[in-house]
Amino acid sequence: MIKLFHEMAGWKKIVVYVPLTHADALRTAIGEAGGGTLGNYSFCSFSVRGVGRFRPDAGASPHIGEVGKIEQVEEERIEVTCAPDVIGKVIAAIKAVHPYEEIALDVYALENW
């Protein structure tokens, strides 16, 4: 079933970066919260692996790495679509499962064509 443009109004794309060790748990949490739906399919996502780099500064409590030292971590970029009525629930699920104290999380508005 192809969703018509008016059925997709207000939909978002969520992009989040997570260490490989937590990627499956994060995808599960997103799906259980209602993210990643496309027509008659659920738990839909797309992932790409890469390397995240960061330096925890004074006052940070890093899950990985040490304060003052540049760190690099194998991460997955996970992308999912999200209906407007579950966006808050999906973001809360991400925050509950994600191990980082500062989460790289983007939310994009989707245009209908």
73: containing domain: 5-108
CATH number for the domain spanning 15: value is: 3.30.70.120
- Report the pLDDT value the prediction gives residue 55, as an integer from 0 to 100: 93
Q: Across residues 46-67, what is the average pLDDT?
A: 93
- Report the pLDDT value the prediction gives residue 113, as an integer from 0 to 100: 67
Residue 113 lies in a domain: no
Residue 33 lies in a domain: yes
Domain count within the chain: 1
Q: How confident is the model at residue 59 (pLDDT cuts 50, 70, 90)?
A: very high
Q: Across residues 16-43, what is the average pLDDT?
A: 96
Give the full edge-to-edge strand order of the sheet including 105-109.
46-54, 71-82, 12-19, 105-109
Residue 51 lies in a domain: yes
Q: 85-107 pLDDT, tens per residue?
A: 999 999 999 999 999 999 999 99
Q: Across residues 9-16, what is the average pLDDT?
A: 93
